[in-house]
Amino acid sequence: MQNKREQLLHISQQLVSLGLNRGTAGNVSVRADSAEGQAGFLITPSGLAVDKMASSDMVWMDFSGNATGVHPPSSEWRFHRDILQQKSQVNAVIHTHSIYASTFSTFRKDMPPFHYMIALAGGDSIRCAPYALFGSQQLSDNAIEALKDRKACLLANHGMIAVGETLEKALDITQEVETLCEQYLLALQVGEPYILSQQEMMDVLEKFKTYGAWSEASNGARAERR
């Protein structure tokens, strides 16, 4: 489990260095069984800035919501738990308050397929979950609904969630969604961008099954934008 604690710290540091989180904003989790073999996950602590964080500060939780650690778990532990519990193929969850995703989330709209890379989130849109108080079960329920058949979603007036088979894959998706939010906001300053058709997006989704880092057999390397 120590290795996963270090991985969690490393990803948290990367999120800050990439400008995707600042201060105490955002949180990260990774699936990890206890030393006794009990199913659960590690999550970043509540209210602790990344530059003050050590691997030993990561909090272990079981799926009943019991926590073990020096600090309390992130206030958003409920949606981390629920995502990991309900999505067996997901092993890592990243939540950010990144600038462009947070800004676009204030419109409370799904992001349409203005760019084919929308497909990286698993469908023909990136959904925006309805607003709910941070840390609440309602927010978790809303996020779970928005993540149906998806690898990322926005949280209204809040930020984004990205999930993956590994922390690295979840980070890749986080970066791509932030870029898409930036591009869409820039496009809206000019006017209404053209939206790809359902068939065009179906073609992209089919091609992504065998395309580079987004393929079903990928090893987590980040895809180039083409």
- Quickly list DSSP for 47-112: T--GGG--GGG-EEEETTS-EESSSPBPTTHHHHHHHHHH-TT--EEEEE--HHHHHHHTT--PBP
76 catalytic? Reply is yes
139, part of any domain: yes
93, part of any domain: yes
One of 36, 76, 176, 224 is an active-site residue; which one? 76
Domain containing 115 — which CATH number?
3.40.225.10
19, part of any domain: yes
Residue listed under structure tokens 């359902």: 198
One-letter amino acid for residue 125 of the chain: S
169, part of any domain: yes
Number of domains within the chain = 1
225, part of any domain: no
What is the mean pLDDT, run by run of 10 residues, along the chain of 226 residues?
89 96 93 90 94 95 94 96 97 98 98 97 97 98 98 98 97 97 97 97 92 55 42
pLDDT at 24: 87
221, part of any domain: no
pLDDT at 9: 96
Residue 49: which domain range? 2-214
224, part of any domain: no
111, part of any domain: yes
**What's the pTM value of the predicted model, to 2 decimals?**
0.92
pLDDT at 225: 43
